Amino acid sequence: MESRSRRSFLKGTAAAGAALFSAPLLLNGRSRSAAIPDADKPFRLAYAPSIGMFRELCGSDDPLDNIQFIADKGFRALFDNGFPGRPVEEQERIATKIQKMGLLMGPWVLHADFGKTSFVLPHKEVRDFLTAKMEEGIDVARRSGFKMALVVPGRYDYRIHPDIQLANVIDNLRYCADLVGPEGMTLVLEPLNTLRDHPGLWLTKMPQAYQVCKAVNSPAVKIVEDIYHQQISEGNLIPNIETCWDEIAAFHVGDNPGRNEPTTGEINYKNIFSYLLSRDYEGVICMEHGRSVKGPEGVRRVIEAYRDCDPF
């Protein structure tokens, strides 16, 4: 039975959250209206907050309470990079809640070791590692029903010719696809920027990822387009999305500079989201970014930014 003190805490937190969502806010140097328009209406696109992104207003650290809050604010999806690292019982609770509410789950991270040279090598040790990693991912997918897993192919090796590295990556991904494909899983490759965040990685640009996916030629290997990283690496965002469209399975978003919510940097997310809507995109758009303002006000600002950018 819930204690009186906990009921009082949750009631007070809910009241504070309601007050915050109805209070005026100065955003980007201009006064905002008293309330977020359509604050509980479902978004047009499946923007996916991380499970704990709104915990200051949710009033709880319980993942299930946070999932409920996310849905109550009109979001149709969520993501959890660290999902495989959660205790098995918690994975099952989260999966049951998400499936019951009919939400989408974005890709979780299966392998992203930025310090290891892996997929570019043809060695038996790499294949043994990949076998164990894919089996781990299969267990998570079977347990949860979440079948999209993110993979970073690791570091570039300056001792091996670039074309040989490409061939090795393709061979290793074909091997992984043969393991996870029968389970209905999709591995999504994430090109990452080397100019600011991840120097030394092998996979850095969308055309490169597209080339790999075409060569692997499997529905089990696709791309997660991280718009923040690609703005830094190469720009040309919408044309690259259009060119690579048939190999893109999911998106990550974050503005640049700063890697915070849309409207805080130079990326025109209104146009990007409008383009995705025009293509009838139904997949997840993971909100893989920070917040420009800390605390409950920052939560409100993130939600308002997505309301501003959601196409109408």
Catalytic annotation present for 288 = yes
Alpha carbon of 204 to those of 69, 111, 193, 238: distances in Å?
A: 35, 16, 6, 17
- Report the distance separating Cα 233 and Cα 256, nearest Å: 11
Q: Quick one: which of 210, 110, 214, 124 has its CA closest to 154?
A: 110
- Report the distance separating Cα 227 and Cα 241, nearest Å: 9
Residue showing tokens 């399975």:
249
- Report the distance separating Cα 299 and Cα 296, nearest Å: 5
Q: In what order do the strands lie in the sheet with 108-111?
A: 46-48, 284-287, 248-253, 221-226, 186-189, 148-151, 108-111
**Among residues 56, 190, 225, 247, which one is catalytic?**
190
Tell the burial category of 5 from Cβ atoms under 10 Å away from its Cβ (0-12, 13-18, 19+): exposed
**Among residues 56, 247, 261, 288, which one is catalytic?**
288
Catalytic annotation present for 190 = yes
Q: Which active-site residues does the annotation give?
A: 190, 288
